[in-house]
Amino acid sequence: MAALPRLCRQAWEPVLARARGAVVFLDAAAAEALHWGGGGAGELLAAGALRVKPLPPPEGAAAAGAASPRVVFVLSGPLRGWAAAAVRAVLETGSVRCCALLCAGEAEGGEPEESLRRWMGPGGRAEVLLRGAPLLVPLTAELGLLPASAGIVPPAGGPRQGGPGEPGLGALPGELRAAGRVLVGELDALLGAMGLREECFAVGSLSRLLAAELASCAAARNRRRMATNRAAVVFVDRTLDLAGAVGHHGDNLAEKILSVLPKLPGHKTDVMVNMVELTALQTPDEACSIIAPGCLAQPNDPAAKALWESFMNLKQKEAVMEARRHLVEAASRENLPIKMSMGRVTPEQLSSYIQLFKNNLKALENHCGLLQLVLATVQTLKHPQISKWDNFLAFERLLLQSIGESEMPNVLNQLLTMIKPYNERMPDDYTCEDFLVLLVYMYSVVGEIKGGKELDKAEEEVKKALAKAICDEAEPSPLLQKITGCDSAQNLTSQKATDAVDKIFKTLRDISRARMHMKQFNSIHNPGSNTHQASYKPLLKQVVEEICNPDRPDPVDIEHMSSGLTDLLKTGFSMFMKVNRPHPGDHPLLIIFMVGGVTVSEVKMVKDLVATRKPGTQVLVLSTALLTPLDAVELLFTTDHPQPDTDI
C-alpha cells in the first residue's frame, strides 16, 4: 500500500512544477493539506513562487489582485460557488496573463479553461491541471483527512432507511448533496492513486448513500476494472455514536494538545504553540502576537514527525517520556550541558531542557520542529483545562452508572445543580460549552428515551438554566457566538439564547434516536452488573470486532453496497442457494471512513483491534475531520455548517 504522506506529496507535484515566477493562491482546505502533507508554504517558495496567498472570499478578492502576470490557483473542491467567484475576481483585475488551476470535479459554466480565459480577457493563457491524488491531510501513516469535506455531518436523526429502490445522493438537500459528491470524487481519486479495487460497505444512512454513490459511479467502475489491489471501504456515520466524539476516555497526549491549545488561524486541525520561552522577551501578554506561533505539523523534520507519531499512538505517560528522550538526544548531539534524570517527567523538567537551546542559534535551527512539539506538551500539561479533563472523565463514568440505575429526568436534575452563572463560577466549574459537551454525551449514550411529562419538565428546567447562563456571559465565546448568531453580549437577548437552546434540545432528541433502526449496533451503553461497572462500548469498536469476527457471520448492520448487476444477482441468489456474500473482512486492506469526524483515541483503538484480531490485515482510517469535544459540539449546533456551496 502506498504510504499516505507520499501520496500527499504527489498531489503537489504539478503545482510545484508551475510555481516559478508565479503567485500561488490556495483555499483554506488546500492550505491545510499543504501545511501537513505538501511540505508547507516553504516548499512552494523554494520552487520559485513569488508569494503564497489565501484565496479570499469574493468581497476581498478584487482588492487582492495578483500583482503578477502569472498565477497558480489550488482549489480543494470544484471551480464553483464562492471559489469560482474568488478566482474570477483575481483574474478580472486585468494584470494576469497566464494562469494554471488545480481543482477537483466539474466546473461552473462549462469548460474551466474557457471560463479562465474569458475572465482574464483577450490574450490570456489558461491551463487546467488534472489532479491525481486528492489534497489530503496525512496526520500519521494510517490516518488521513479530507479537508475539503470537513463540514459534512450526517443528519442527527438520519434520513429514514428506504428500500432497494431508494435514490442515491439525489435524495439529499442541495448543499449536502454537492458536498457528498465532492467527497465521493476525492475518495475515488485517492483509491485510484493507490491502485485499489474496493468493495463498499456502510453503517448508517448518510454512509449508505455515499457508499452507494462510490460503488455505482462510472469513474469508480472503470477504475476498478484496471486495479489489482483489493480493499474493503466501510463508511460509518459519526452521529450514531457522538459519545465517542465528546468523551474524555482516551489517555492520549495528542488528543489533549488538540483539545486545549488554541487553533492555528485558518486551520481546522493544527494548534498554536507559544514560542516566547525560546526568546529573550519578557512579556506579560499571554498570546504574545509579535512572535509567530509554532505548530504540530512538521512534514520536513523526521525527528519531530516520529515524536508526533508517538503522541498519537502511545499513552500519555509514555509519550511524555518519548518527548524527554528526543530532547536529551538532540541536546547531546549539540553538546549542550544536559543532566539526564530518571523517574517521572514533569513539565518543569522539559522546560529546563528547552532553555538549553535558547541561546544557541545553530541548535535552535537544527531542532526547531522538535522544540515546537515539546513546547506544545509543556503548555498542555500546565493548562488549566487539563485538570478539568479528569473531572469530565469522572462525571462521564458517573453518568454511565446513573443512566443504568435511574431515568433520564433524574440525570438531568443532577446536571441542573451544576449550572452556574458566570459571576458565581469557580475555575473548576463547568462553562456553558462544557455543559453542551456533557449533554451530547448523555443523549448519545442513553439512546432512545421514553418521553413523558417528567422528562419534559426536567428538560425545561435545564433549558431555562442554560439559556440564563448563556445570557449572563461577560462576553460570549466564539463557539457561543456561532450557536446563538450573536457576536457580542449586547446583541445576545434572552429570546435569542432561549431559541438557540430550544434548537439544541431538538438536536439532542434526534441524537438519542440515531440508532433506532439498528438491530445489532443499537446500544453503546453496557449497563454493568453486580460485579462489573457500567461502561461505554464504542460503536466503532463493535463494528471492527464484527468485521474481524473469525466465524464471519453475515453482518446485520454493515450493509454491502453493490456496484452492478453481477453483485445484485449474487445478493439475490444468496437467498435461495449458498453464495458467499461479500464480507468486509475478506480483504488485505481495511479502510474505515468516518463520515463527520474521528478522534485520535478511535484511530488508535481501530489499529489495536485489527492488529490483535486480524494480524495480517492492513488498516487505514480516513475521515472528514479530526474531532475534539468542542469541535464535535460546533459541528452539531452551529447555524452555518461550512459545506461547499452549490452554484452561485
Q: What is the pLDDT of residues 86-143, one digit of tens each?
A: 999 999 888 889 999 998 866 555 588 888 999 988 988 999 987 778 899 999 989 9
Strand-pair partners of 591: 233, 620
3-class SS of residue 39: coil
Grid cell 512579556 in the structure block, residue: 283
DSSP string, 369-381: HHHHHHHHHHHHH
Could you tell me if 7 and 194 are in contact, meaning their C-beta atoms sit under 8 angstroms apart?
Answer: yes
CA–CA separation, 10 vs 2, rounded Å? 11
Instruction: Please report which confidence band the pLDDT of residue 226 belongs to, taking 50, 70 and 90 as the band edges.
Output: confident
For residue 433, give Cα distances in angstroms to 133, 182, 290, 591, 603.
38, 31, 30, 33, 25
CA neighbor of 238 nearest in space, from 172, 155, 140 = 155
How far apart CA 225 and CA 555 sit, in angstroms, is 26
156: cell is 442527527
**Residue 607 CB partners (closer than 8 Å, separation 6+):** 142, 313, 619, 621
Please tell me the predicted confidence (pLDDT) of residue 451: 79
Which bin fits 169, alpha (ψ -120 to 50), beta or left (φ > 0)? alpha
In the sheet that 70-74 helps form, which strands lie side by side, from edge to edge? 51-54, 23-26, 70-74, 98-102, 125-129
C-alpha to C-alpha distance for 77 and 284, rounded to whole angstroms: 42
Average pLDDT over residues 361-370: 91
Strand partners, 138: 144
Predicted local confidence at residue 648, as pLDDT: 28
Answer whether 72's CB lies under 8 Å from 15's CB. yes
Q: Which residues contact 533 (CB under 8 A, 6 or more apart)?
A: 397, 400, 401
The answer to whether domain 4-130 has CATH 3.40.50.2060 is: yes
Residue with cell 502533507: 37
Contact 275, 291 (CB under 8 A): yes
Alpha carbon distance 593, 40 (integer Å): 26
Instruction: Specify the domain boundaries for CATH 3.40.50.1910 within the chain.
Output: 136-241+538-647
pLDDT of 397 > 50? The answer is yes
Residue 616: φ, ψ to 5°: -80, -5
**Residues 6 or more apart in contact with residue 554 via CB below 8 angstroms:** 581, 583
Q: What is the DSSP letter of 280?
A: S
Torsion of CA 360, 361, 362, 363, to 10 degrees: 50
Kindly report, residue by residue over 248-281, the tens digit of the pLDDT: 987 899 999 999 999 998 899 999 999 888 887 7
- Collapse the DSSP code of 447 into the 3-class scheme (helix H, G, I; strand E, B; otherwise coil) and give the result: coil
- Tell me the C-alpha to C-alpha distance, in Å, between residue 628 and each of 95, 250, 270, 400, 602: 43, 11, 12, 21, 12
Q: What global pTM score does this model have?
A: 0.91
Q: Picking from 102-106, 333-337, 469-473, 561-565, which range would have the lowest pLDDT averaged per residue? A: 561-565
Q: Residue 552's pLDDT is what?
A: 80
Q: What is the pLDDT of residue 288?
A: 62
The CATH architecture of the domain made up of 136-241+538-647 is: 3-Layer(aba) Sandwich (3.40)
Q: Which amino acid is at 351?
A: S
Residue range 426-455, pLDDT digits in tens: 888 889 999 999 999 999 999 888 878 889
CATH 3.40.50.2060 domain range(s) in the chain: 4-130
Q: How many angstroms separate the CA atoms of 178 and 181, rounded?
A: 5
Q: Would you call 431 helix, strand, or coil by DSSP? A: coil
Among 625, 613, 541, 646, residue whose Cα is nearest residue 250: 541
**Interval 201-225 mean pLDDT:** 90
The whole-number average pLDDT for the span 48-55 is 93
The residues, any chain, with a CB within 8 Å of residue 248's CB and separated by 6 or more, are 389, 390, 392, 393, 396, 629
Q: Are 595 and 236 in contact (CB under 8 A)?
A: yes
Among the listed residues 217, 266, 385, the one whose alpha carbon sits nearest the alpha carbon of residue 28: 266
Longest Cα–Cα distance in the chain:
81
Residue 72 has pLDDT above 70, yes or no: yes
pLDDT-derived band at 388 (thresholds 50, 70, 90) equals: confident
Q: What does the block give as the cell for 291?
A: 512572535
Do residues 32 and 289 make contact, with C-beta atoms less than 8 angstroms apart?
no
Residue 526 host element (H or E): strand 525-526
Q: What whole-number distance in Å separates Cα of residue 473 and Cα of residue 459?
A: 21
Closest CA to 255 of 153, 394, 382, 389: 389
Q: How confident is the model at residue 3 (pLDDT cuts 50, 70, 90)?
A: confident
Residue 384: alpha-carbon gap to chain centroid: 24
- The sign one gets for the Cα dihedral 359, 362, 368, 371 is negative
Mean of per-residue pLDDT scores for the chain: 86
Instruction: Identify whether the C-beta of residue 245 lies closer than 8 Å to the C-beta of residue 597.
Output: yes
C-alpha cell at 95: 494584470
Phi and psi at 171, nearest 5°, equal -80, -10
pLDDT for res 163 = 43
Helices (H), 247-346: 253-260, 302-313, 316-333
- pLDDT of 34 higher than 60: yes
Instruction: Please report, for residues 316, 330, 340, 552, the alpha-carbon distance to residue 319 in angstroms, rounded to integers and kept in the order given.
Output: 5, 17, 17, 36
Task: Name the amino acid, one letter, at 122.
Answer: P
